[in-house]
Amino acid sequence: MPPVTSPDTSKVGVLLVNLGTPDAPTPAAVRRYLAEFLSDPRVIEIPALVWKPILHGVILRTRPAKSAYAYAQVWTDEGSPLAAITAAQARALQVMLGDGVKVDWAMRYGNPSIPSRIQAMKDAGYERVLVAPLYPQYSGATTASVMDSLGDALGKMRWQPALRTLPPYHGDPGYIEALENDLAAQVEALDFVPELLLLSFHGMPERTRELGDPYHAHCLNTARLLRERLAARLPGLRIETSFQSRFGRAKWLEPATETTLEKEAKAGTRRIAIAAPGFSADCVETLEELAIRGREVFEEAGGEKLAVLACLNDGAPGMAMLEALVRRELAGWWA
C-alpha cells in the first residue's frame, strides 16, 4: 500500500474526453468497442432483457466486420483519427496553458479510459481536475454518459480529486466564431463554388427529443447562429441542416444527411460542401460516412462535386476557442 502524503492542492489537471474508438481496425477490436458502446443504457434506451439478446445474438455477430472495413479506410499511422486528433489537441492545449496545468485525454469507450486517466492524475498528485467533454451540444448519450463514467470511477476511489466539468458550448460566441472563421476559410479555398453548405450533425432517435433531451434544440441553435455569422462572409451560399449516422429501425432526427444529399442532387444541386460542426475532431463518421459514402450517394444521384470540410481539430481557431473555454472554467483554481 503506497504511503499517504499531503495533497498539493495547487496541482490542477484538465482531461479532454471524446467518444471513443476501437484499438485497431479489425473485427475483434471493433467487437470489443461496440460491446462497450452499445451496452451503455444512455446510448441504447431499451430494457436490457430485450436488448442484450439482440446485441449479442445479432449485432455483435454481423456489424463488427462492416465497421472494421469502415475504420480501415481512414486509419492512420498514428492509429484512429479520433484518438490521434484528440491527443494532438491535448498536446496543443498543454503548450497554450503552460506547465501550471497538466493536460491529458481519454475516451468514453475504449482506451485510454476515463477511470484510468482520472486515477493516473490523482496518483500524480493532481487534486483538482477539470473534465472537458468535447461535445458542443449536450445529449444524454454523450455528455451525461461521461458523467456516469466519472461517477463509476469516483465510486472506486477512496481518495478522490475535486472535479469540475465543462458545460456544453453550442451557443458560445467563441465556438461560433471559431466555426465561422474555420469554415469560411475552407470554403473560400475550394476549387469550386458550392451551391449549398450542409451542416451535418450526428443523429439521435426522435424518442430522445420527446423524452426531453435538448440535443436537437442545441444543434439547431448552433446552426442558426452559424448561418447568421456566415451570411456576411459567404453571401448567396444556402445553408441547410441534417442528421447522420442512423442506426436501427427507430425513427431518427430528420432530415437524414444521405437522404438530403440524394434529394439535392436529384433536384439539380451539383456542388455541395458539408461541415460537421458537432464533431470536435474528424473521425470515421466524417472521414468515411460523409467523405466516402456520402459522396457516393451524391454522385450516384447526379451530383458533381462534394467537399467534406475538416472539423476544428487541433487547428488554430478551434484551439483558441478550447483554451478560452478551459481558462474560464479553471477560474478560482488556477491563475
Spans of the chain, pLDDT less than 70: 1-10
Q: What is the pLDDT of residue 250?
A: 86
- Give all domains of the chain, ordered by start, each with its CATH number: 12-169+317-329 (3.40.50.1400), 173-308 (3.40.50.1400)
DSSP for 105-138? EEEEEESSBHHHHHHHHHHTT--EEEEEE--SS-
* First and final C-alpha spacing in the chain: 34
In the block, residue with C-alpha cell 459514402: 293
Check residue 126 and give left, alpha or beta (phi > 0: left; psi -120 to 50: alpha): beta
Q: Are 162 and 127 in contact (CB under 8 A)?
A: yes
- Please tell me the pTM assigned to this model: 0.95
Beta strands in the chain (DSSP E): 12-21, 101-110, 128-133, 162-165, 196-202, 238-244, 271-275, 305-308
Residue 254: C-alpha distances to residues 140, 165, 257 (Å): 19, 30, 8
Cell of 86: 484528440
Condensed to tens digits (0 to 9), the pLDDT of residues 204-249 reads 999 999 999 999 999 999 999 999 999 999 999 999 999 999 887 8
Condensed to tens digits (0 to 9), the pLDDT of residues 15-51 reads 999 999 999 999 999 999 999 999 999 999 999 999 9
Q: What is the pLDDT of residue 9?
A: 52
Q: What is the pLDDT of residue 300?
A: 98
